[in-house]
Structures are given as structure tokens and as C-alpha cells.
Structure 1
């Protein structure tokens, strides 16, 4: 369904003239940035903790015969949950309010992350990580929709870039703070229980921020329909969690390779898309039939593959390649995470400027994706050819590749907002991230399995770079609207 391009009925926030200085939409950006910060710190802390558990041979994971494969599978199961609530989360936001779902998502993440630090046993640990993913999965589609609705028309992509900077901040803080939180955990719980401390600290902070943002979002648009939306999300999450864990337990009992378990989990998402397509009713059916949304969603698989391969395994990649300490590897990996602090807003701003000048967002998106893919391949080649890779060179390559990678994301998000009408944006962003998260589900598990099999990260890195270049090819077939679609009055 192609958006209309007339000027009648435009959203007031998108057309009123801006004043100078701080504007109301800046406050919304800041609050949502905080939401991204805490939700990403909660999810990304798992990667460094898994690496620490493996390096120190701690029983929760380190005692496994294939620890990298098991650790990667835990990350993949989180994203199986995160993926499955993408479309339902957007649909619930369209029904109960996008502000409501943002609050529910963040409070949910705080509770489940806190509980993760209190439990004992691998299975319960996995269940809580899956539940965390299911709750956090509803944040993205509703956050993107709020930005598109309340930002000036010429600054939608900039807003998306500024807000998602919280992703890089959360990822950076989680990566850098992991050694210190684990040291604190050793002093408090002993070495066997030290992994609990990061979850307890980050879960508690997330809960505090979620409670603090609620009054602001209530003032933004009235009461929040938290009761009905939470019950609906809880029902969906119980069903999906049971399905994910059933696949995990059956596959583990059958001795299936861990990467194949991640592949099977993605079939749950594809089954969900098939059900939506069969229904072919209302906004859900029109989103599936929207050629441009689906192309952008498929290309998004490569984005999330890259994001969570490096986010989950970057500390381990540096440690194994350079034989560095855990703390040194965390600092180098932070260059990959921290590049988004510059890349996200810069990409959003450049995208808006290109659109305003009539060039369109797509050419810049294609160029950034190609450059990023080439830099990832260069990084893999350097690790393969260098006897002992330099920490400085790895830092530069990771930062540069990540700079282009983070810049391209708000460009793609703005395109998703433009190829549908406003009342469909929640569902469109839900579909986009549902399919895109297939990359996040498979890449941690496959990367860990490849390392256990070959003793090097080079193969997994080259697969990542090749997929990014394939994503650039897909963008060639997206039809970019010449004007921004009409928003409802």
C-alpha cells in the first residue's frame, strides 16, 4: 500500500514552526533515549558475562564441552523471545497506545533482569532471559512510532538517530562496566556467584528509570492503559516462552547442534508471518502485502545479524585474537559500541538533509551499508593475516565500521516510517523488527559454534560482512516515496 502524498490533515507537531532552544519533542527524545540505554544495557550485559564465565570455567556455562556454542545459544534464545513480540507489540501499541507499551516494556525488563540475578540453575536462567526478550520486544515499534508522530517532519530521521544513541550508550556502559561489576560480585558473592551482580544492578536501575518516565508519558497524552495491555502481553509471552523453551529442550535432548536450535527458533517467527498473511485482514494483512516494508524488513536481517554478532562476541573476539586480558578486551570492544554515539545522530541528520534536498535517503543508505560491509571484511582479513593483532588497529577498524553501521540504521528506520500511513507505523515497525531479529537469533549461536569448531572468529566475521553487502543490494529494489506520507488528523 503506497502512502498518500497530499498535504491535508498533517500532524500538527510535524508542521508547526519550531521555536529556538529546547522543544517539547526534545524532552520526548531524551526520555526514549534513556529507555534504549537501560534496555540495551540489560540485554547486552549477557555477552561479556558469558565470556567471563567461559574464561574462568564457572559451572553455569564454563563447564560445558562447547561453551561458546552454549553461550551463543543463550543469546539467541533471548532474541527469539525479542523477535516474537515485535509485531504483536506494535499491534498492541496501535490499540492500547504506544506510550503505554513503552512503559510496560521497560518495567518488564527491569523486573526480569533483576530476577535473573536471584535465580539458580541454567534452565531458569534461560527462561528469564527469554522472558526479558519477550518484554523488551515491544519497545522498538512503539518508540519509533512515537518519534515519527511527535517530531517535526524534517527531523524524523534525526530524532530516530538521536534516540537510538541510547543503544550505543547502554552497550558501551554494559561492556566497560562488566569487569568492575563482576569484581564487585566476586567480593560480594564469591567467584561462583559473581555473575549475579551485573543483573542485580542493571535490573534495579531499569526499574527506577521506568517508574520515573511513567509520569512524563502520562502527561504527554493522558492516562495509560497499562492493565489491559499488560495482560495481553503476558498471555502472548507465556505462549511464546513455552514454545521457545519446548524447542530448546527437545532439540537439546535430541543432541542437535546449538546453531540449528537457533534456526528452528526462527521458524516460529516465520510461522507467525505466515499466519498474518493467511489472515490478510486489516492493517496486518496490508503490511505483509506492502512490498517495500517487506524488502526493508528482509534487509534488516543483515543489520541485526551484524549488531548482535559483534555486541555479543566482541569481547571474546578481541580476547582470543590478541590474547589480552578481559578488561583490555572490554575497552577495545567499547570502540565498536561507542561509535553509535556519533554514528546514529550523524546518520539521521544526513538522511534528513538528503531528503530535504531531493536526493532521497536510499542512496546514502546503500552507500553506508556497502562501506560498512567492506570494513567488516577488512577486519576479518586483518585478524587472519596478522600473527598477533594490534589492539590499536582492532580498535580503529571496529570504530570505523561501527560508525557507518550505526549511521545507516536511522536511514532505514525513516524509510519504514515513510512507506506506510501513520496508523500503520506500529505494525510496520513491528514487522520490520520481527523479520530483522532473525539475524540476532542466529548470529550469536552460529558464531559461537563456528569458533568452537575452527578455533577462530574469522569465518563468522566474513559471513557477517558478506551479509551486509547483500543487504545493500536489497535496498536497490526499495521504492522510496518522493514525499512524506500523510498523517492522520
Structure 2
């Protein structure tokens, strides 16, 4: 089956010349995809606060472990091992079967597996479902970015990507701020030992409802969805990949490897998949592997995903440990890290589009924002190192400002990637981009937890995070940005 052309209604998704200032169909698409990001990120982000609660309450699932932070971080890393491994297959399937279908499959899949996570009773079963959730959610990103580029005016692609990915910040905020409330309600429904189940049950059900709403919307946007064939393909791929992730986990754990070592071993799976892509460089599937700019952006974005999931997974624990505050107060402060994206994402996309129109290019702005963000992370770590008991107010300000810059730079990079690839290969390019960059997300939760267990402070892990961001600026500077005339046409 080949990719079908958009329906006539979808062809007009780009705003007409006279439609400036009016609500356009692509605005609705941006908001619906924002909702997809919100539920997708809430589903994955809730694991971090729940793990922190399990550790603080000495729950049998984690509290009795010799190195609970390392084990908790490993759970997050295993999720991203699954999430990482379906990035490129998801983009390729979207290019072949339709990006709308893959969006629907991803959301419904995530809803089912998140809901099921609230019913399991053992650590291994919980890990399996988190890996499966990651495998399903992994196909959302590349298809979301491609839909925005396809149905938006080219001069607004960066803004559209920024608006949609604002759902990431909203999802992080919902998960971080909602965790104490949902766990309290869970204690009333399931008892103290089962209180952790409630966040997964509530968010899983909500994701399913939104997934059904998204199905109806995307049918109206571009006609019938043909999700059966790609769903079966994805299921077959996911069974194999889930077995591979768990095999590496069980073998490495049996050999006594530390949690960060297990995470690194999981990354080897990604390198095997990347190697398969490069081995097919002569095929359409491997064409993006010949693009020097794509490879530079892939490697540079590892630091971004490292930062994103180090702070997203451990921000509550960082605040609670540094200020010796309660779980609820720490969650409230940590939302300043998540909530900054509500402003940062659309602002970054808007600034990126402005720089492109003015002839400055997106690359210089990306490099500047990466350097500033890396320095802010180092300043945050230095503050925690210098002060015995840091101020919750000052931590909130530092987290907000650092995250504001960090979130703004992400749609800048996404729009730059969109500019350097052929429109027919966008799905595959974004899939390869996130496959490589998710290495940072796989390693950072586990290694961050292991560093805390070793030093009893989060400062070394924060310094490492900042150093990686600063180093990545050199890779962004090497990207060769195309001129304004090489922007693809909307709807292509």
C-alpha cells in the first residue's frame, strides 16, 4: 500500500493569502496535536513522580531495593528504550501508510497500556507495560512533525511545531502537579499500598477518550483512515523489540550490571537499528542517512533529550532532596520546570520563523539558545552546591527561566530539520532524528539516579547535564542551513 494523497479539504489546510489573522484549518490541527502531546506526555511523565512516591514510602516494589533511585531511573530508561526503538519504524510506516493513521494508533495504544499499568501487581509486569507504552508512543513524534509541515503554510511551520509541542509542557505539568492529588485519591480507593495505581488508571482512560476524538477529527481532515495494516506491522515490530529490550534487561541484571550499565546496553539495540538503516543507504528508507545535516542534528539533540528526561523524571526528587520539602511541595515547585514550556515552545517557534523570514537563519538562534541554556543549568547546579538549604522560591525561578530557554530551542531545531530534508522523507527523517536523540532519554534517568545514590546529591548529575548541552552547540554550528528559497511548499 502506498501513501494516499490528502483529501480535497485537507489540501486547503494552508492559510490563503487573504486569511491572515483568521482562524484557519491548520490552527485546529495544531491544537488537536497539542492535545495528543499533552496526553502522551502525561502518560509517560507520571512514572517519575510515582517512582519518587514509591521510594519515599518504602513501597515493596522499589523501597526495599539497595539502590532505589538507580532502580527507579532504570524503569524510566526502559520506557525510553521502547520509545526510542519505534521512532524510525514509526516514521517510515507513516510515510508509507499515512501519518494520520499512525497518530491514532499511537494514542489508542498509549491509552490501553497506561490503563493496564494501573492493574499490574509486580515489578516485572509493570516494566513490561512501560516498555510497551514507549513502543506505541514512539510513533507519535515523527508523524506529528510531518503532519504540521504538510498542512501548514511553510512560513509558519516553526510556529505550528512550537504550538503543538506545548502539549508536552502541559502534559508534564499535569503529571507532576496531579500526582499527589491522584495518589491521595488512590489511597482512598485502593488503600495506601495501591495508591500509586490511580494516576495510571485516570490518565489511561483520558488518553483513550481523546484518542477516539482524534480519530474522528483526522477522518474529517483527510478522509478514511487505513490503520489496520500499519497497526499490525507496528504490533509485529513491537513484539520483537519488547522481547529484545526485556532480554537485555534480564541478562544485564542477572550479570549484576549497574542500572546505568543496563541503560547503556539498551542503547546498543538502538545502534543495531541505526546500523540497519545505514546498511540500506541505497534504498528510500535509508536515504535520510546520507544527509549530513540530519546526522549532525540527530547527534546534537541527544543532549536535549538528556536534559528533558533527566529533569522531567527527577525534578520532584531534586527539589525534595535539596530543600527537604514534602512530596506535594516538591511537586508544586517542579511544575515551574514543566510549565515554562507553555510559553517557551510557541515563542521559540515564532522566533525561529521570524529569523528565517528576516534572512538570519534558524541555526544562529539555535546555537545561541543552546549555549544560554547550558550555562543556566550549570548555574542551577552551582546554586544547589553552594547553599546548604536552597530557597524554594529561588529554585522555582531558576527552574522556570532555564526551562523557558530550553523549551524555546526545541521547535527551532525541529523547524531547522524540516528545512534540510526532502518533503517526501520527512517522516523517516524525524523518525531517525528521534531514534538517535532518544539515547539521551534512555541513559539520563538511570545514570542520574545512580549518581545520586553514589554521591547523595543531585549536583554531579546536574553539572553533567549542563556540560552536554554546552558541548552540543558545536554540532549545531556545523549544520549547513538552506536559503529561504528552499523552503518546501505547504501540502507537499
TM-score, normalised via structure 2 length: 0.96
CA shift, 1:485, in A, is 3.6
2: distance between equivalents of 1:21 and 1:223? 28
- SS of the residue corresponding to residue 389 of structure 2 reads coil
Give runs of aligned pairs for residues 58-73 of structure 1, distance below 5 A: 58-73=59-74
Q: Is the 8 A contact 1:68 1:448 kept in 2?
A: yes
Q: Is the 8 A contact 2:154 2:487 kept in 1?
A: no
- 1:17 is aligned to 17
CA shift, 1:473, in A, is 1.1
1: distance between equivalents of 2:84 and 2:148? 21
- SS of the residue corresponding to residue 284 of structure 1 reads coil
- RMSD of aligned Cα (Å): 1.1
1: distance between equivalents of 2:307 and 2:202? 28
1: distance between equivalents of 2:202 and 2:348? 32
- 2:3 is aligned to none
Give runs of aligned pairs for residues 150-229 of structure 1, distance below 5 A: 150-229=151-230
- 2:488 is aligned to 486
Give runs of aligned pairs for residues 375-394 of structure 1, distance below 5 A: 375-394=376-395
1: distance between equivalents of 2:355 and 2:14? 18
- 1:6 is aligned to none
Q: Deviations over 1:250-274 (max 9, x none)?
A: 1111111110000010111111111
- SS of the residue corresponding to residue 173 of structure 1 reads helix
Q: Is the 8 A contact 2:14 2:24 kept in 1?
A: no
- The answer to whether structure 1 residue 259 and structure 2 residue 240 are counterparts is no
CA shift, 1:87, in A, is 0.2
CA shift, 1:282, in A, is 2.4
CA shift, 1:175, in A, is 0.4
CA shift, 1:233, in A, is 0.3
Q: Is the 8 A contact 2:260 2:446 kept in 1?
A: yes
- 2:304 is aligned to 303
* More off after superposition, 17-26 vs 455-464: 17-26
- SS of the residue corresponding to residue 282 of structure 1 reads coil
- The answer to whether structure 1 residue 97 and structure 2 residue 111 are counterparts is no
- 1:282 is aligned to 283
Q: Deviations over 1:172-229 (max 9, x none)?
A: 0110010000000111111111110000000000000000111110111111111001
CA shift, 1:15, in A, is 7.5
1: distance between equivalents of 2:290 and 2:22? 42
- The answer to whether structure 1 residue 148 and structure 2 residue 142 are counterparts is no
1: distance between equivalents of 2:99 and 2:488? 19
Q: Is the 8 A contact 1:154 1:356 kept in 2?
A: yes
Q: Is the 8 A contact 1:15 1:153 kept in 2?
A: no
CA shift, 1:18, in A, is 4.7
- 2:8 is aligned to none
2: distance between equivalents of 1:400 and 1:15? 34
Q: Deviations over 1:5-54 (max 9, x none)?
A: xxxxxx86558415132110011011000000000000000000000000
Q: Deviations over 1:86-105 (max 9, x none)?
A: 00000000011000000000
- SS of the residue corresponding to residue 430 of structure 1 reads helix
2: distance between equivalents of 1:485 and 1:430? 20
1: distance between equivalents of 2:121 and 2:56? 20
Q: Deviations over 1:316-363 (max 9, x none)?
A: 000011000001000110000000000000000011001000000011
2: distance between equivalents of 1:95 and 1:116? 31
Q: Is the 8 A contact 1:162 1:344 kept in 2?
A: yes
1: distance between equivalents of 2:70 and 2:246? 17
2: distance between equivalents of 1:114 and 1:259? 28
Q: Is the 8 A contact 2:15 2:26 kept in 1?
A: no
Q: Deviations over 1:421-459 (max 9, x none)?
A: 111000000000000100000000000000011100000
- 2:362 is aligned to 361
Q: Is the 8 A contact 2:108 2:208 kept in 1?
A: yes
- 1:411 is aligned to 412
2: distance between equivalents of 1:441 and 1:296? 18
2: distance between equivalents of 1:233 and 1:55? 37
